[in-house]
Each structure stands twice: as C-alpha cells, then as structure tokens.
Amino acid sequence: MLCVHCEFDNPSGNKFCGECGTPLRGDAAALKSSPANSSLSDERKQVTVMFCDVVGSTELTAKLGEDRMHRLLNEFFGIAIAGIHRYEGSVNKFLGDGFMALFGAPIAHEDHTRRAALAAVAIRDAVANATWESVPAGQRLQIRMGLDTGTVVFGKVGGGQRAEITAIGDTTNVAARLQSEAPPGGIACSEGVATTIDGHFECRKLGLRTLKGKGEPILVYEIALRKKRAAGTAQSTLPLLGRQAEMTQVRSALDALTAGQGGILMIVGEAGMGKSRLLAETRQYAAGQNLAWVEGTSLSFGSTLSYWPFREVIRRCFNITEEDGERQSWQKLSNRMASLFGREAGEEMAPFVGVLLTLNMPEPFGSRMRAIDSISMGLQLARTANLLFERLSREQPLAVCLEDWHWADSSSADLLLSLLQLTPASPILFVIASRPEQAGAMARLERAIADDAGVRTAVRRVQLKPLGGNDVQRIIGGLLGGERLAQDVAELLSARAGGNPFYVGEMVRMLKATHAVVRDDASGEWRAASRIEELPLPNSIEGVILARIDRLEDEVKQVLKVAAVVGHSFFHRVLKVVADEGVTLDVDLAKLVQAQFIDQVERHAEIEYMFKHPLIQQATYNSLLESRRKQLHLRIGETIEQFFVAKIEEFYPILAYHYAQAQEWTKAQEYLMKAADQAGAMSANEEAFALYQRTIEVAEKHSALKFTPYERAVLDVKIGEAMYGAGKLMEATQYFEKSLRHLGVKLPTGRKEIARKTIATLIQCLPNWLATIYRNSPQSGEILSRERTLIRKILINQGWIDYFCNPHRLFLVTAIGYKIGRGDQNCGEFAVSLIGVGYGLFFLGRRRFAERCFRLALRIAKDSGDTSSIANCHVAYANCLVLMGLGTEAVENFISARELFVKAGDLGRATTTTRGLVAFYRELGHPQYRRLNQETNDQAKYAFDPHNASFVKMTNGRIAIWDGDYEGAIRELGSAIDIYAVTGNVSSSVSALCEMARSHIMIGNFDEAEKWTAEIDAIDLSLLRGSLATWAIMGKAQVLLMLAESGREASRNRFLVAAAEACRVATRYAKRIKDYGCVESLRLEANLAWLQGKRGKAEALWHKALIDAEQKGYKPVLADTNLDLGQRLGRRDNLLKAQALWAEIGSPAKVAIIQDLLNP
C-alpha cells in the first residue's frame, strides 16, 4: 500500500507506514466522504475550511495540453492529500484544478485551525520544492490558498447516488473568497484564523478587502512563516517571579556568547525549584539574539540510552526530523558535513556522526564503521563531535542546552567533558540544567570543573534557592488572577511549600479544584471553606499532584496515565494508538493542557506534548497498578515497532525498556542484546555492560530464554570487551576467562599451575612451531569451527592484558591460541597470535626465536591483506627491534603501523603506536619526543581512553621532572597512578610510583617519598617479566639510591641494602635485552658501588655505560652518566658534556643543576 506522505510502498496489512510511521488509510478518506457509506446526521460544527487552486491553470493547460496537465494535477493532488492527511484533515471535494478541505469535521479536533495552517504551510512548501516533470523549463507551478474558521452545518446535500457530505455556511464562502485574495504561492486567512494561530505562525496584514457576498470589508492576513518553538518550551501566563538575579546571570552569559565568548552556564536546583521555567525564559531571550540555540533532554530511564541528549542536539543542528527516513537523514547529514568541512573531510567525518545518531548508513560507510574497534570508535566520536561543534560555532555563536543532566547516560557525560575544552576559545555556551547530585553525570561534571582551572574560569553557576515569602505571595496572587489569598491560608501554604515554586503552584491549583478555598465576593479574597486546620494540604509534592489528578474526569485521568507510561514527552500519533478506544483524545489532551498537567509543543511537523514537570509524570506513573503498567508498556513497544520500522535501530534501548517493564521477556532480551551491541559499537562501554548484564539476568530468570554455552561465551566476550574499553583490565580478564570455560578451556591462575601447563603446551606445540618458524611458510588453511575461532579471538584479547598485568601467563595464553588456530595459518588472526608467542619468547630471553616469530607474523599478515593485522605486526616487530637495540628499523615499523591504523580509521591503535614512538624517542632523547607527546595529549582531550590517558599523564609527569616542575609532575603522576589502579597495569603503575617518589625527593619531601616507596614494596614485582620487569625494578632502585643519598644517616644503610637487591634483580633481567634498560642498569650499579665505597668498580661500570649509551644513541642515560662522573669525580669535562646533552634533549632543570655544579 502506497503511503500518501512519503510514497513508501508498504506490504499489505501494515497499519502504519514502515518508512515514516504515517497511518495508512487506504480509501478511508474517500469512504468518509461517500454518502453511501455515511450515517452522519446534519450537525453544527466548529471547523476550519481550506480552499486551494493552481495559479494560471488555464494558460498552463494551453501550453501543456490536456494529457500532461492531467498528469501534473494528479502529482499536485498527491502532495496536497498527503499534507492534509498528515494533520488529520479530509478532502471534501475536488474542484477542477483545486480542492476544498475540512479540519474539525467529520473528526472533531480542538486545534483544527492550527492543523489547517500546518497543512497549508506543508503543502505550500512541498509544491515550491517539488520537481515537476510536466512543467516547461523556466516555469514554476504555483498555488494559492484561503483559510477561514467558524461554525458550519455539516451533513448530506442532495439525494440518491448524487448525494455528498459537505460544509455549508458563511465560513465556507469566506474561505473560497480568501483564496482569490492570496498572492501566488501564498496563504490568505481571516482575522479569526490569524488570531487563533498567533504564537505558532507569523501572519502579516494584507489589509481590508471587500469580498463578494460580504457587505463590509474584512481584514485579510497572509500566513508567512511558521514560528519554531523548541521542544520543552513551557507556556506560562505568569511572569518569572523571584528570579531576577538569576535571570541577570543568564542574560549576561548569552550576551557574552553573542560577543564571541564561550562558557558553561549551570542552572542547578532541587526538583520543583524552577529550572524548566528559567530555561523557558532563557530560550525566549536567546531567540532575540544573534545565536543558534539547540537542546537535548536526558530521560529518567535513560542511563542506558547512549548519547541520547546529544543525539537530539545533533539532529536539530542538521535539521533531521522524526519524519525523515534513513535515506533522507543520511542525505541531510552528508550534505551539511560537506558544506561545513569540504567534500573530502566531510565524507570522512559524516559516518561518525551517523554512528552517534544510530543511522543505518549506505555502503561503504556502514562496513567501514563496523570494522573499527570500540576504543577507536570512542576516540573518533569525541574527535568528530569536537570538530563539529567548533565549526558550527564559527558560523554562528552556539548555545547547547542540556536539560535534566542528572539523568544523563555515562557516554553523554564523557562527551560533554570532552567538549568543555572548546569553551575558552570558541563561541559556544553549554547551558546545563540539573538537580544537584552526589553521583552520576552531574557529579562527574562538578569534579571535572573542580579539577580543571581553565574550565572553572568559564563557569557561571545559577543556584536556584527557595523563594522568599514575598515572592511566594506574588506567585499565589498570579495564580488567583491577581486576587489575594487570606493571610492565614497563605502563611500555611507558604510554610508547607518551603519556598518551592512548583509546590506552591500545585497546592493552589489543588485547593481551587477541590473547593477547599472559595472566593469572598465582597472582599475579592480567597479564604478557607472550612476551618484552616482541616485544609487538605499534603506533606509532599507527589501528594499534591495525586490530589489534583483525582479531581480529573475519569477518561481524562486515564489519558494522563497512558501518557505517563509513554514518557516525559510523547507524540500525538503514538498516544492515539496506545490510548483506549473510544476516548476523545484531542478534547482530553486540551483539558490536560488547560489544567497545566502537560504542554503542547512542536517538534518539526509532529504534534507533541510533554509533562509540565517530571514530578507530574513520575507521580502519575507511580499511581498505576503494576498490571496496567505492564499492559501499557507492551502496547507502547508494539506501537514503536510498527511506527518506526525503517529506523528501528534508534529505538533499541527504548524498546528494551518498555518490553522489560511489560515483562515480555523474549522481546526484552532481543532488544536488550541489540541495544548492548549498539552501545558497545559506539564505545558506550558503561551502558553496554549494564545492558549485557540485564540480558543475562533475564535469561537466568526464565528457563526458556537460557543461552547455549556458545551463546553465553559470546556474551561474556562482549562484556569483557566493554570492560577492556573502559580500562578495567582485571574485570575484563574475569569475563574472558569465564567465556573460555563455557567453551571448555580453563586458564590457570596460580604460578605453579601456569608453569606446569606452559611446559605441557610447549611440548605439544614445539614440533609444529619450529617447523613453521624455520620453514618461514604457513601451512595451508583450514576452516576453523565457530568455537575455535572464538577461543582464538578471546586468547588474543587476553594476551594483550597479560602482557601488562600477568606476563608469567602470556606465553601460555598465546601458545594455546597458536595451538587452537594452527590449522589456519593463512589469516591475520593467526599472525596476531604468533605475535603473542614472540612476546612470550622475548620475556623468556629467547630473542632470536622471538625475532623470527615477529618477522613471520608480519609476512603472514601481509599475505592475508588484513590491514589491522599488518599494522599490529609492525608494532610488535618495532617493539622487538627496540629491545634488540635496532632503533632505525624500529622507527620505520612504528611509522608504517601508524599510517595503516590512521588509514583504517583506527584512532585508538594509531594513538597506541604513537605512544610506542614517544617512549622510544624519550629513551633516545630525540627532539620529536615532545611533539609526539603533544599529539597524544591532543588525542586525550577528545575522549577518556584510560590506556591513553594514563600514558599521557605519566609522560607529562616525566617531562615536568625534566623541566624542574616537580609540583606539576606530582599532579600528573597522581592522575596516572589513579588510572593504573583501575586498569591493573602493574608495570606502569610501579614506574609511576617511582617517578612520584623521585619528584618528592627533588623538593626535599623525603617522608612523602618513603610513603610512595612503601607502596612500591607492597607490589609483587615477581609478577613482571622481561623489559617491563627491568624498567620497573630499575625505577625502584633509583629511588632507593636517591633516598640513601638524601643525607639521613639513620636510614642510609637500610636503603643501600634494598637498592643493592633491586639493582641485582634489574641487572639479571637487563642482561636478556639490549635496550635502554640494559645501559641504565649499568649506571645504577655504578652509583651503588660508589655509595658502597667501591670507587674502582663504579668507574669501570660508568665507563661501560658511556660506551654502550654512545653506541646505541641513548642520550638521556649518556648525559646522566656524564653527570655522575662529573659530580662524583669532579670532572669538569664530563659536566660540560652532560650540560650540552641535556640542553639538546631539552631539560632546563638538569641544565640548571649542572650549572650550579660548574659554578659552586
């Protein structure tokens, strides 16, 4: 069945269009107008009549001919009928090249005049924008319309087969005459229409006109523009009372924005304190300024609705409406991105905006997005959002309003924290309305502001406090139409309300509705109808609301309750389907608006309502019996599925919520899983975790929904990946191990068990392994079962975690992965598993075997053509080359990997590769070190990736030490230590603790340094292997040597003994590798020998360190060794060499220390 709205061809049986959700009427409109099928009796009705015709149709027919004109009129009528049906009008009759339409009959609508105006504007715009194949080039099809509203007699005219239903009366005649007064392309209307739609449309006077059949001239208007009123705008007849100071702050922020200054405007207050009312005034003030205002609202059940408020914001930025299908939405998005950034950059960035909006994108964009992992996706989404909002603010100062932020989801909270960095330099103002909360999104925002001095200076805080007595009295007076409430009643009400304006308003309305207060006609004062002690004043806002609801007519009350289950805001067309049959919905909604329970708002072409306050919705919802709630939630879920077939992905979390509340567990589980997968794909890890957990809970409670072992393993892998993306490596390990157990693989955890199983696995794999390495050629591939493929994937993921957190098990994990997949050696996944084997060999000190593994893995990956695997192998081989002291080749592989990751859009791994370069360049003292580190800093600003953020903080701390900014180092290293505590990265955590202790020693805070050293002692360093162990233990040794030399004789020997043991262990590990750590261990041993009084041994070790550092190009250790020699032995030439090297590397602190030694 063809939809008259969007022309989507629907399968037979659909009640609603699968593309746009419009009800499919078939021939319903014709049936309604057919006398043979009508049992209507004549009646007087309030209606709005529309007349429309084609301008210059006679001349156009002469040019086109009758056939082409007939086709043109059919096209035009199709557009017109769609516009009329969209607003539930009916075509009463066709009149040659025009038609007459009615709104308010045969179906009554309280707002028939506004519906008629909406339809007229929609038809006018659609005709103006349409492409008419039949119209000659250079010509346009133009129409004109006339509207009048009033009373008509509606019923049958004529008899027999020629009978028809129509509207007779002066209103019909005036509408027909007004049509001829309209300019081409215009809509003329009467004063009655213009007055009724004021506030929704801009109408301009055309002047007094004498119409045929009218004795006196009438005032004629033209409907020019539709006024856009943002969703959430509350209508209030009362002025804003008691908030003058707050409104001054708001105006000041908006004025500053208009002048080009961005910022953060926080409107904070408890429920009912007037946040929405103040926002309405803010919106109204913003409408008169030269700025763009967009907004998004968090939902009370929105903790798992990833990026929900930002989806609303971005849709408004791109003018994507609820009626737009996937194709049209993508077209609007891609066109606007191209206009903002240029064709090439816009095409690269548009898919990431599409992911945020959950659009089903055309190929190749969709497959490109699916190939990007969660961490990279999070970085890309944040980066794209930053660039987008910054560019939009360049076009026009931009105000982004985020309402009910206390309900925001975790991903939106992360994104906002990323976007706040735009405010100092860009004309963008974030207006955040929220309750004060100790947890969740608002608490995170408050912490971020407290921690960032730059952001803190951009904040304006509007704290809504309880109103004073005078302001409460003025609100009461306003609600009573300017009349007074008796003083004793007013004082009681004021005391009970506690200065809460919403509470005051609700109580006054309740007292009037229940006739608990009555008007004294003599004095004009409202007084208690009985003794004041008997006034029914509930102690809570919810009690007041429920008392008001109880006074509603039963049908109206039921409509309100249905609406409360739909949500804080609800579309008319959804409510119409969900509400019970037989209700006069428009009349009931009008009564609810009049009683100030809900507001009517416009969101593009949709008719939408929203509760005046979240507390009204919550109280109404809570009043429903559970059985009724379940029934309504089920009906709502089914309605959403029916309405939004073409873009159902947007509604996965909402459908999961409604079906779960309905206890329709099969559907709930389906949409929970889909919503979780969707959240995981867009790096919304916290929401993904919560949704997956809920999916498991549903399955465990209902035996019919239980997962097979394989299905449960897949689910646990997804949870593990979400935990890994959130930086929670220990939690990720738990889920990866659990998923392996479902597949029959148990990873050992104890040290002895790991060793025993490693030997057994090595014996099993060794022949095939050696053959593969020495043959330097993979075996022919076989197709792995889905279980083995999943096991290999899990083990690869776990291998990356064990590299940092459990190196003892790394070799075993990667060897099992190799064994599982060795029958399929012609693929990228096998190459990546071979990388793990290489790392394991390196940690066991078998460098030659490891290097062969890395080279073979890289060749297999290249043969497979898998970009991600090739890049991963380049990174692994680069790390291997670094450990072998082959720096030039290592850099080439790092750069190749980074280029491949960037090309694939894998920003996360590209950043990881940059981190590898940063670490290596730091060891070399390379001048690129700081520049590349700034790149990782810039990346970290976009999104909080714990892996990147911890590295950035650690490196910033080390640079601060080189710069002599020890307080800054302590701040940065403290942040790194906090993140490592969550991720479980043992080796990096130890390194950060060592740098923290060093910083405290440098400022003479030895007691604090000892505390940090004690934290290092509490960590089992035997967990570490290879270079990770070397660097961690060397860091500890250096701290102990510095403490031993701190001048405190009482503790000197204790620290020297501990340092000697640390140096011994570090040297043992360092002998297995040839990197920076090997040279640094020599220098530390030399210092230990010096402090032990072994001068000869110390000099020999220093000279060996000098030779090795010179050969390998490790400038920092070369500079420090020269400094040691110069300082200990009084050699000026060594001091000068050290000073020159540190000046070249870029450490003003070291240069200054050496200068003091040169000039004592």
Question: In angstroms, what CA-CA distances link 1015 with 119, 205, 1037?
Answer: 72, 80, 14
**What are the pLDDT digits (tens) for 287-324?**
888 999 999 998 877 777 889 999 999 999 998 887 78
- Those residues whose C-beta lies under 8 Å from the C-beta of residue 683, and which sit 6 or more positions away, are 374, 375, 377, 378, 379, 381, 411, 725, 943
pLDDT at 1010: 92
pLDDT at 38: 41
Q: What is the dihedral of CA 142, 148, 153, 158, to 10 degrees?
A: -20
Helices 685-701 and 709-725, interaxial angle, to 10°?
Answer: 160
Q: How many helices (H) and strands (E) does the chain have?
A: 50, 18
pLDDT at 535: 67
Residue found under tokens 């009928």: 81
* Poorest-pLDDT segment among 334-348, 531-545, 621-635, 988-1002: 531-545
Helices 1115-1129 and 1095-1112, interaxial angle, to 10°?
Answer: 150
Tokens of 467: 């109103």
Closest CA to 920 of 1138, 653, 1116: 1116
Task: Domain 34-226: state its class.
Answer: alpha beta
Higher pLDDT, 691 or 646: 691
Q: 244-463: which CATH architecture?
A: 3-Layer(aba) Sandwich (3.40)
pLDDT at 185: 92
pLDDT at 32: 36
pLDDT at 779: 53
Pairs from 493-498 (Cβ < 8 Å, separation ≥ 24): 493/537, 494/469, 496/537, 496/539, 497/472, 498/466
- Mean pLDDT of all residues belonging to the chain: 83
Higher pLDDT, 78 or 1068: 78
Tokens of 362: 């055309």
Check pLDDT > 90 for residue 634: yes
Closest CA to 937 of 961, 954, 923: 954
- Residue 1010's SS3 state is helix
Question: In angstroms, what CA-CA distances link 442 with 32, 219, 451, 1078?
Answer: 53, 53, 14, 48
- Those residues whose C-beta lies under 8 Å from the C-beta of residue 162, and which sit 6 or more positions away, are none
Check pLDDT > 50 for residue 15: no
Angle CA 729–732–733, to nearest 5 = 90
pLDDT at 782: 58
Check pLDDT > 70 for residue 109: no
CA dist., res. 29 & res. 26, Å (int): 8
**C-beta of residue 251 within 8 angstroms of C-beta of residue 285:** yes
- Those residues whose C-beta lies under 8 Å from the C-beta of residue 970, and which sit 6 or more positions away, are 957, 996, 999, 1000
Check pLDDT > 50 for residue 119: yes
Closest CA to 369 of 353, 383, 345: 353
**What are the pLDDT digits (tens) for 1085-1142?**
999 999 999 999 999 999 999 998 888 888 999 999 999 999 999 999 999 999 999 9
CA dist., res. 155 & res. 42, Å (int): 4
Q: What is the dihedral of CA 984, 986, 987, 993, to 10 degrees?
A: 100
Strand 606-611 and strand 598-603: pairing?
antiparallel
Per-residue confidence band for 201, with pLDDT thresholds at 50, 70 and 90: confident
CA dist., res. 43 & res. 1099, Å (int): 113
Burial 88-104 (b: 16+ CB within 10 A, else e): bbbbbeeeebbbbbbbb
- Residue 423's SS3 state is coil
- Residue 221's SS3 state is strand
**C-beta of residue 145 within 8 angstroms of C-beta of residue 52:** yes
Quick check: bond before 364 cis, omega within 30?
Answer: yes
Assign residue 96 a region: left if phi > 0, alpha if psi is -120 to 50, beta otherwise?
left
Global pTM?
0.64
**What are the pLDDT digits (tens) for 482-506?**
788 888 888 888 877 778 888 888 7
Check pLDDT > 80 for residue 163: no
Section 256-284 average pLDDT: 90
Per-residue confidence band for 31, with pLDDT thresholds at 50, 70 and 90: very low
**C-beta of residue 166 within 8 angstroms of C-beta of residue 180:** no
At 940, the amino acid letter reads A
**C-beta of residue 1034 within 8 angstroms of C-beta of residue 998:** no
pLDDT at 389: 96
Tokens of 400: 């982004």
CA dist., res. 879 & res. 838, Å (int): 11
The alpha-carbon radius of gyration of the chain (Å, integer) is 37
pLDDT at 2: 42
Section 1025-1039 average pLDDT: 80
- Those residues whose C-beta lies under 8 Å from the C-beta of residue 1107, and which sit 6 or more positions away, are none
For the chain, domain boundaries = 34-226, 244-463, 469-549, 635-695, 1078-1088+1100-1160
CA dist., res. 5 & res. 21, Å (int): 9
**What are the pLDDT digits (tens) for 1034-1056?**
889 999 999 998 877 778 888 99
Higher pLDDT, 496 or 442: 442
What is the percent of the chain where pLDDT is above 90? 28
**C-beta of residue 1036 within 8 angstroms of C-beta of residue 1016:** yes
**What are the pLDDT digits (tens) for 780-794?**
555 668 888 888 889
Section 118-140 average pLDDT: 82
Closest CA to 6 of 344, 329, 401: 329
**What are the pLDDT digits (tens) for 810-844?**
778 877 887 776 666 557 777 877 787 777 677 66
Question: In angstroms, what CA-CA distances link 838 with 37, 309, 1030, 1069?
Answer: 82, 46, 18, 17
**C-beta of residue 49 within 8 angstroms of C-beta of residue 168:** no
pLDDT at 539: 58
Section 338-351 average pLDDT: 92
Alpha carbon 974 to chain centroid, angstroms: 28
